A = this chain, B = another copy of it.
Amino acid sequence: MKSRSFDLMNKVAVPTKSKVVLLVIDGLGGLPKEGKTELEKASTPHLDELAKKGISGMTDPVGRGVTPGSGPAHLALFGYDPLEFEIGRGALAAAGIGFELGPDDLAARINFATVDKEGKITDRRAGRISSEKNKELCLLLEKIKTEDAELFVKTVKEHRAVLIFRGAGLSDELNDSDPQVTGVPPRVVEALSAKAEKAARVVNNFLRQAEEILKEHAPANMILLRGFAQHPRLPSLEEIYRLRPAAIAAYPMYRGIARLVGMEILTTGEKIEEEFQTLKDNFHSYDFFYLHIKGSDSAGEDGDFQRKVRVIEEVDRNIPILTDLCPEAIAVTGDHSTPAVLKAHSWHAVPFLLSSPWCRPDGGERFSEEACSRGSLGRFPALEVMPLLMAHGRKLAKYGA
């Protein structure tokens, strides 16, 4: 464990029976449309009630001005400095399809692409081929044999797939084959350090065979690889905080990230209500729960302001299931902002709410960007969410005499 903050948490964390819940409404933070953000527009009587009893503030996921991806944003929420720990794109993609990376695995993100007769890239997404075609091509590619590694080619969606090599000594210190532009051929994959030479040989061997197989499958007549990554080897939440943590997430990617930090993954349904029901059903078996809501982010990415409002309202209707369980501490926040008016993740601070019998209530009347900006927690790094949640859950002993 590298982080100084881990040393401290490790010193003071004590296992207790008390329960804490981290409810992440993905992409929660918004921007106003006709004067109000998505959260401000939503009718959220139950979340407002939590705010009245609790404390609030605004978090910066990675740092002021930084727009985070899901990986860094979640790492910060779980207490891992996102600038110190990285989940490479390949590892995140593997996590995203529920592929559990082992210590000898090397993963990369695949784009099916189109190249012209001279081998120059004309479309980095192969005209967004159908997911069916994608599956069919993955099966063909998975038949490739390389001498030093087993391999897996797993479909994702449209032009996206994941490639995993399994073999001893496969370093991820490789450059991408994807040049990120069209009009040039894919780059040769080269070892960025001596220890990655074997990996480079294996990958290039695979790429030569893939080219041969795909040449009759235009527009998907090539693949581009990026984000070579091994298992990020994060210290577990159990190691750091002595927790027995469980994750409830309808989307595979978030289950994957949760697995990387050592959470137990609970089987749940696609609906928000089912996720809350899973929490209820498993409440006695764990002491930390991460509950992830995806729909708010998807709506934001789609630029659908009203749908994001409705997702937030649906979460709110389910809050009584959570509060009836009487956890010692509840945090409600987002991993980052996804304002519908931007149709994308953004750098804006994220509303944060903490409710516990051990709060010093700060007079907040609502759960909203506006109210949280005046909360007693002020504006703070998301990295401090875990210590706060642990403290209010009475899971931290005194530091020093």
Number of copies of this kind of chain in the complex: 2
Assess whether B342 is in contact with A401, with CB atoms less than 8 Å apart: no
Query: Which of A114-122, A271-279, A290-298, A377-385 lines the interface with chain B?
Result: A377-385
Q: How far is the CB of A132 from chain B (nearest CB, A)?
A: 25
Assess whether B358 is in contact with A362, with CB atoms less than 8 Å apart: no
- Indicate if A300 sits at the interface (CB-CB under 8 A): no
Q: Once the chains are docked, how many angstroms separate the CA of A247 from the CA of B82?
A: 34
Q: Once the chains are docked, how many angstroms separate the CA of A89 from the CA of B370?
A: 45
Assess whether B58 is in contact with A398, with CB atoms less than 8 Å apart: no
Assess whether B398 is in contact with A4, with CB atoms less than 8 Å apart: no
Assess whether B37 is in contact with A400, with CB atoms less than 8 Å apart: no
On chain B, the residues within 8 Å of A388 by CB distance are 64-65
Assess whether A390 is in contact with B65, with CB atoms less than 8 Å apart: yes
Q: Once the chains are docked, how many angstroms separate the CA of A363 from the CA of B371?
A: 11
Assess whether B67 is in contact with A391, with CB atoms less than 8 Å apart: yes
On chain B, the residues within 8 Å of A173 by CB distance are none
- Indicate if A348 sits at the interface (CB-CB under 8 A): yes
Within 8 A of B (CB), among A1-20: 4-5, 8, 12
The one of B32, B342, B380, B400 that contacts A68, using a Cβ cutoff of 8 Å:
B400
On chain B, the residues within 8 Å of A400 by CB distance are 68-73, 82, 86-87
The one of B4, B30, B358, B378 that contacts A379, using a Cβ cutoff of 8 Å:
B378
Q: Once the chains are docked, how many angstroms separate the CA of A5 from the CA of B65?
A: 12
Within 8 A of B (CB), among A24-65: 29-32, 37, 58, 62-65
On chain B, the residues within 8 Å of A83 by CB distance are 4, 8
- Residue-wise interface mask of A (390-401) relative to B, using a CB-CB cutoff of 8 A (1 in contact, 0 not): 111000111111
- Indicate if A345 sits at the interface (CB-CB under 8 A): yes
Assess whether B67 is in contact with A397, with CB atoms less than 8 Å apart: yes
On chain B, the residues within 8 Å of A87 by CB distance are 400-401
Q: How far is the CB of A303 from chain B (nearest CB, A)?
A: 15
On chain B, the residues within 8 Å of A344 by CB distance are 398
The one of B64, B67, B71, B377 that contacts A380, using a Cβ cutoff of 8 Å:
B64
Whose C-beta in chain B lies nearest to the C-beta of A37? B360
Assess whether A66 is in contact with B397, with CB atoms less than 8 Å apart: no
Assess whether A399 is in contact with B65, with CB atoms less than 8 Å apart: no
Assess whether A64 is in contact with B384, with CB atoms less than 8 Å apart: yes
The one of B64, B70, B378, B387 that contacts A387, using a Cβ cutoff of 8 Å:
B64
- Most B-side CB within 10 Å, residue of A89, A92, A342, A376: A376
Assess whether B360 is in contact with A399, with CB atoms less than 8 Å apart: no
On chain B, the residues within 8 Å of A30 by CB distance are 360
User: 8 smallest A-B Cβ distances: which pairs?
Assistant: A65-B387, A65-B391, A69-B400, A72-B400, A378-B379, A373-B376, A347-B391, A64-B384
Chain A residues in the interface with B (C-beta under 8 A): 4-5, 8, 12, 29-32, 37, 58, 62-73, 82-83, 86-87, 89, 92-93, 227, 342, 344-349, 358, 360-363, 369-370, 373-374, 376-380, 384, 386-392, 396-401
> Can you list 6 A-B pairs, Cβ within 8 angstroms, ordered by A?
A12-B67, A30-B360, A68-B399, A82-B400, A346-B358, A360-B369
Q: A37-B360, A348-B360 are in contact. List 9 more A-B contacts (CB 8 A).
A: A8-B83, A29-B360, A64-B388, A67-B398, A68-B398, A68-B399, A93-B401, A377-B379, A379-B380
